[in-house]
Structure 1
Amino acid sequence: MGKDYYRILGIEKGASDEEIKKAYRKQALRFHPDKNKSAGAEDKFKEIAEAYDVLSDAKKKDIYDRYGEDGLKGHAGSGTNGPSYTFHGDPHAMFAEFFGGRSPFDHFFASAGGPNDGMDIDDPFGAFGMGGMGGFPRSFKSRVGGPHGSREKKKDPPVVHELKVSLEEVFAGCTKKMKISRKRLNPDGCSMRNEDKILTVDIKRGWKEGTKITFPKEGDETPTNIPADIVFVVKDKIHSVFRRDGSDIIYPARISLREALCGCTINAPTLDGRTVTVSSRDVIKPGMKKRIVGEGLPLSKCPEKRGDMVLEFSVKFPDKLGPGAREALVQILPP
């Protein structure tokens, strides 16, 4: 089951645009980390922003209503095509756009005499008669650093997301296209628009897990901020056969006790679809390893060279032995 954006905002499916705005306003005020210090408030605040980002955009809302979160984010089998949606926005920047200031609580609480002077925790702005998009007066926008204010713009912290890649993609290199939705300032420097953009990430051969790809200033842009950098961090997908150790790949070679004692032949697959045959006539103990040079991943700094494939042997012992086999082994095996 995917996320229920309507439940997150506390509204029913089919809610109007105005109802969606009001729901975001209420929930964002309730869970803003400047106001709500409970554990998980920051995560909830971001989840509310993502829900509003989807439901306030007609195109994304239509896909979500028809296919759910899986369809929106382009998961396999969802019946949709094209780049997948990922929320790359800054929830604090969205809050700033909606209300006209990044942290308005201090200003209002100072005027009201403190955060607990009879003010509704779900609606601290209710006493001032301010609601909905652009509800603040011009004088307030100036004080908090709006288009007429003097506060210096600060750059938002980077927005970091994992970029999962398979070992085959690391082996051959590939291109990933990531769709982001963000806020951009209009030429007047005050109003904003929603904008989708495709970011192209060229995965180089041999890139290690943890490699970072930075797209400067591609986050939300408001009158009060400098857009955040979007940062993708390479993360290995779990592989069905291999596991990775730097530029080496580990192949679990499972053999029988007879093969361990009498010799064996292993047909090991490779990442480029070939098969490597390895024979051994030595006694193989559980946990022993055999290295096949040059059959691993490309080296990130020197892609024409490759790491190794390491066969990691595990020996399957029989569950039981018959009397004849037991006696024969006693006679054959050394003490």
Structure 2
Amino acid sequence: MGIDYYGVLQIPRTSRDLNIKKAYRNLALEFNSDRCKQENSKQVFALIGEAYEVLSDPLRRAVYDQYGEEGLKNGVPGPDGYIPGYHYHGDPMRTYNDFFGTSSPYADLLDVLKNPQKLCKKTTGIEVCKKQQPIKHPLHLTLHEVFFGGIKKMKIHRLTFINEKHNKTEVKEKILTIPIKPGIKAGTEIIFPEEGDQNPAYIPADVIFVVEDKPHETFIRQDDNLIFRTNVTLEDALIGTVVTIHTIDHRTIRVPITDIISPMYEKFVENEGLPILDKYPEKGNLIIRFDITFPDYLPRSCKETLKKAFDLAKVADSRNQHESINKLVLADKMFRIDPDEQLPPL
């Protein structure tokens, strides 16, 4: 049947990497052969190390989950070729030292010495301090702030110690400086550790600002892209038009539309969206969406002209359809100009 590595670490098969590390830490400290003198502790310590090395490596864990210990140690075929078998190096102290950064059997005590726990005075006596629950505030950002980034200052009020004994507090104002990276995403949490109310019985809470996008009068944000909606007439939808857009960074761009605009049509303009946070100064796309306005009334002559245009489009080569329709509509307009308004011949 083989070794049950999950059973060795006493964790379920659905455990995440952090749970695997926590389980190994607790068991390795308990069964370290220099610390534990129980019978068979060395064998158990080695098995714990082997289980950790298998389950903490994504490839080894995947092979073990699918093929078991036999497949893991004998090797299996993979999508990119044969995956060779895995064999534990047999030195659990090497695994222990890689994990803790020391071979000391009292690594947990060393952690406490390096990062001593805070003690608080309570009515029941002196106890290890517990941290208060984090305090979350919304951080509303305009698309202009998201585009350019910068610094935002937020004012908070908190209870602060006013004497050396740390047993008296009063409310004081504090200004927190928040760095805004270009392209910062909605939902991002910016944490200010222990900036909550000071209290002799607790560790102050973290103050967390959660980014929220403010609505924009022109654009809608979609991840790193910007959505722009515009109205076009049926004539523009069929013949073509130019869309003028005033960008967030104060430029004016003109986008020619030469395709037929259907209700689901979208025009993508590359690199005109928001900055991509991890790839700055690259930007997302500007996506133009269209609302088509249909005429309330068409005279019979216009309908006949359009019918001719569509009939011609059916028999014309598809590459010339737009041009054919354009010529017919333009000719109809010219014939309907008042003679008094026509330009004199050259």
User: TM range, normalised to the smaller chain?
Assistant: 0.5 to 0.7
C-alpha separation in 1, matches of 2:232 and 2:134: 49
Give the SS at the match of 1:301.
helix
CA contact (8 A) 1:269 1:276 kept: yes
C-alpha separation in 2, matches of 1:230 and 1:285: 49
Query: Cα deviations across residues 234-277 of structure 1 (Å, max 9, x unaligned)?
Result: 11100000011111111113211000011111112211111111
Aligned to 2:222: 245
How big is the shift at 1:286? Answer: 1.6
C-alpha separation in 2, matches of 1:167 and 1:307: 14
Aligned to 1:175: 151
Give the SS at the match of 1:291.
strand
Question: Please, what TM-score do these two structures have when normalized by structure 2?
Answer: 0.52
Matched, 1:258 2:235: yes
Please give the residue correspondences for 1:174-253 in structure 2 after superposition, counting only pairs within 5 Å: 174-185=150-161, 186-253=163-230
Give the SS at the match of 1:150.
strand
How big is the shift at 1:195? Answer: 1.4
Q: Which has the higher contact order (CA 8 A, sep 6+)?
A: 1
C-alpha separation in 2, matches of 1:222 and 1:241: 47
**More helix by proportion, 1 or 2?**
2
How big is the shift at 1:146? Answer: 3.2
Give the SS at the match of 2:232.
strand
How big is the shift at 1:147? Answer: 6.7
C-alpha separation in 1, matches of 2:187 and 2:232: 34
Query: Cα deviations across residues 278-332 of structure 1 (Å, max 9, x unaligned)?
Result: 1123211122111111111111012111111111122111233334433433343
How big is the shift at 1:149? Answer: 2.6
Q: 1:326 aligns with which of 292, 299, 303?
A: 303
Matched, 1:305 2:285: no
Higher Cα Rg, which structure? 2
How big is the shift at 1:148? Answer: 7.4
How big is the shift at 1:145? Answer: 5.8
Gap change, CA 1:178 and 1:147, over 3 Å in 2: farther
Give the SS at the match of 2:128.
coil
Q: 2:132 aligns with which of 138, 147, 156?
A: 156
Gap change, CA 1:302 and 1:281, over 3 Å in 2: closer
| Unmatched segments (≥5 aa) in structure 1 | 1-143
Please give the residue correspondences for 1:38-117 in structure 2 after superposition, counting only pairs within 5 Å: none
C-alpha separation in 2, matches of 1:221 and 1:149: 19
Q: 2:266 aligns with which of 279, 289, 292?
A: 289
Aligned to 1:67: none
| Unmatched segments (≥5 aa) in structure 2 | 1-119, 315-346
C-alpha separation in 1, matches of 2:141 and 2:228: 19
Gap change, CA 1:148 and 1:196, over 3 Å in 2: farther
Q: 2:164 is matched by which residue type in structure 1? A: P
Please give the residue correspondences for 1:264-283 in structure 2 after superposition, counting only pairs within 5 Å: 264-283=241-260
Identity %: 38
Give the SS at the match of 2:144.
helix
Alignment RMSD (CA, Å) = 2.0
C-alpha separation in 1, matches of 2:246 and 2:294: 24
Question: Please, what TM-score do these two structures have when normalized by structure 1?
Answer: 0.54
Q: 2:152 is matched by which residue type in structure 1? A: K
Q: 2:293 aligns with which of 316, 320, 323?
A: 316
